[in-house]
Amino acid sequence: VMSKSRPLDFVRAKFQEVKAENRRLKERVADLEQTLSIVQTAQEWTIGRGMTQEQKDKMKEIRGLLEQAKKAREDIQSFSGASRQAMYEKLRDTKAALKRERQEKQE
């Protein structure tokens, strides 16, 4: 049973795309807020008391780990987004080919 595309399918697709982008941006904002909170806490802590060299090194290490985690999260999101989009395109192409094939058989 092949359903014809409805008149506003492109609007529905765009709406879903915008919703996904909104969700991604909200996650990004939450990540940035968390990172800011950590940095502000560290700054308050360092202003409140002098840091030894060992503590400074630890702070650098923590900052590096936070940046690595952030980069890894971004990589995962971009990979999954790209592969999902590629699969969607392939599915559309396959459906279009199937539809053409069926039309040719009917003629």
One DSSP character per residue, 66-96 reads HHHHHHHHHHHHHHHHHHHHHHHHHHHHHHH
Per-residue pLDDT of the chain (107 residues; tens, 9 = 90+): 556 778 888 888 899 999 999 999 998 898 888 888 888 887 777 776 777 788 878 878 888 888 888 888 777 777 766 677 777 888 889 999 999 998 888 88
Query: Quick check: is 59 in a domain?
Result: yes
pTM for this entry: 0.40
Q: Domains in the chain: how many in total?
A: 1
Query: Quick check: is 90 in a domain?
Result: yes
Which pLDDT score is estimated for 76?
77
Which pLDDT score is estimated for 56?
77
Query: Quick check: is 1 in a domain?
Result: no
Query: Quick check: is 83 in a domain?
Result: yes
Domain that holds residue 59: 32-106
